Amino acid sequence: MNLQDIYQEILLAHNENPNHFESMSDATHQSYGNNPLCGDEITIFVKIENDIVKAVSFTGEGCAICKASSSLMTDTLCGLSLSDAVDKTQKFIQLLSDESIQVPNDLGELEALLGVRKFPARLKCATLAWHTFLKATADEHR
Amino acid sequence: MQIFDAQRIREDFPALSFCNAKGQKIVYLDNSATTQKPRCVIDALVDFYQHTNANVHRSFYEWGNRATEAYEHTRASLSKFIGAQYPEEVIFTRGATESINCLAEIIGQRYFQQGDEVLVSELEHHSNLIPWQMQQKKRGIQVKGWPIDANGNLEVSALQTLLTPRTKLLAITQVSNVLGTIPNLKNIIACAHANRTFVLVDGAQALAHLKINVQDLNCDFLVGSSHKMYGPMGVGFFYGKRKWLEELPPYHGGGTMMESVFIDSFTEAGIPKRFEAGTPPIADVIGFGKALSYLQQFDWQNLTQYEEKVVAYAERILRTIPRVRLIGNPEKKTAVVSFLVDKIHPHDVATIVSDQNVALRAGFHCCQPLMHRLGCKGGVVRASFGIYNTFEDVDRLAEAIYSVLTVFKS
């Protein structure tokens, strides 16, 4: 367990200046997610047009890991087809939760979040945005 | 007056010698969540399973007799420890939470009528809120809140305006697990009794820090947990005045709590057995007894004063650290310091200090209504102290918080 694994520069930067940290007036989907034990709470906004995720943004309050993960998620999912976005989200949640899963080599910046695999108490912080994205778009992929 | 020697006390607690990979000794500051156990308590558990393992109250052989004797000995010690008049006023449960759930249900069954009110303070832990809210749903009573003032105190003058002819019970903590507030219970209880209102005291956070006497307090009920008093987990108790316990119905049905049983009916046992259905956690109760005798070696005035000094030192040092803000400023407090570091979430603070083997807690601390009142949306960071914490522990805490500031440079 190493502190640098979890508080990487890249995450601290996303926490300080998160991307797409705003509400979205023309969102087609949105959902609220929270971690009742710790107080992280975010709202995820999604705009889907012709089955393409045109835009993702978020608002709310949370710890550095929660905020950085939300910011990275908005970067990752923008522009994907809805089914690819859902697939990517589900796989990433699994990857964070299960240390035995081999790390794919196309993660890019998301790799910085893998440190939470050694900090199980922080897993919920890292996955909140992703779960909330699935919740927001649940009607489309159920 | 003898000197309170926390450094020597540490030697009694094997867990406190734990070092992390960098060779840093544990600084355990999560005593409000659970305390560490002295070796004599750990030994008592092993000893029971090695030499006495038998059920209580119904075995005719030596082990059974010894188990029963040791189990009842803890009841007698505990009743003395809290200043009860009779040992049978002490009922063993799985913990303070189960105690309140049990009492809410049986008090509700016996005394609550639709339209009655239960008053709860804003300092309460969820375990002293939700059981009453469950009664609200079940019996049509009203749960009402007693707000704290800006510093985290409960004003008796405010209580007088909140009590009504329908207020059946006041549920109140003896020490806040977030702010450390010690409400003036004696005055509060007198005020409630003048209104013919029962008072249930949640002593979970108080019993390891303050000398308690239930007869002097004159509370009707009091609950506590062994594991917050240097004893084993899985055991707690409630105290009730004998006159009330004798009127109250059983909670669980099963062995021990009955006198005669027929195929379609039973008669209830007297107290305390009426409230202790099934095999209790015997080894843990006996271990709890050991924890009580361990605590009894201390002069309580010394113990309380020592802990207050460490807490005051912690507050003083924390105030000197940039970006740190203490939460609450109650008139009388013990054992707990809650704080925030500006622009850094409590979870991040607790995770980063853990890297230096400093154990803190961060979050809502099972007190969401209090967090709302304090305006702490992401919760708070809490350092909570016990008999083995030293001034050096506070210095290590301060160092660790400086390292948080280093990680979050901006």
Catalytic residue among B102, B191, B219, B366: B366
What distance in Å separates the CA atoms of residue B407 and residue A16, rounded to the nearest whole number? 12
Q: How many domains does chain A have?
A: 1
* Mean pLDDT of all residues in B137-162: 95
Taking CB atoms and an 8 Å limit, are B348 and A40 in contact across chains?
A: no
What mean pLDDT is reported for chain A?
A: 93
Q: What CATH number did the domain enclosing A14 receive?
A: 3.90.1010.10
For residue B396, name the pLDDT band (cuts at 50, 70, 90).
Answer: very high
Taking CB atoms and an 8 Å limit, are A38 and B363 in contact across chains?
A: yes
What is the model's pLDDT at position B95?
Answer: 98
What is the model's pLDDT at position A140?
Answer: 82
Its CATH architecture, for the domain B6-30+299-407, is Alpha-Beta Complex (3.90)
A37: nearest CB among B352, B363, B377: B363
What is the model's pLDDT at position A3?
Answer: 78
Q: Would you list the domain boundaries of chain B?
A: 6-30+299-407, 42-296
Q: Domain of A14? A: 3-141
What is the model's pLDDT at position B410?
Answer: 61
What is the model's pLDDT at position B57?
Answer: 85
Mutate: best of A35, A38, A65, partner B, most B CBs <10 A: A38
pTM of the model: 0.93
pLDDT digits (tens, 9 = 90+) for A67-100: 999 999 999 999 999 999 999 999 999 999 998 9
Residues 67-126 of A with CB under 8 A from B: 119, 121-122, 125
What is the model's pLDDT at position B197?
Answer: 98
ipTM, two decimals = 0.87
* CATH top-level class of B42-296: alpha beta
For residue B214, name the pLDDT band (cuts at 50, 70, 90).
Answer: very high
What is the model's pLDDT at position B377?
Answer: 87
Closest Cα in chain A to B366: A37
For residue B266, name the pLDDT band (cuts at 50, 70, 90).
Answer: very high
pLDDT digits (tens, 9 = 90+) for A6-36: 898 999 999 999 999 999 999 999 999 998 8
pLDDT digits (tens, 9 = 90+) for B38-87: 999 999 999 999 999 999 987 789 999 999 999 999 999 999 999 999 99
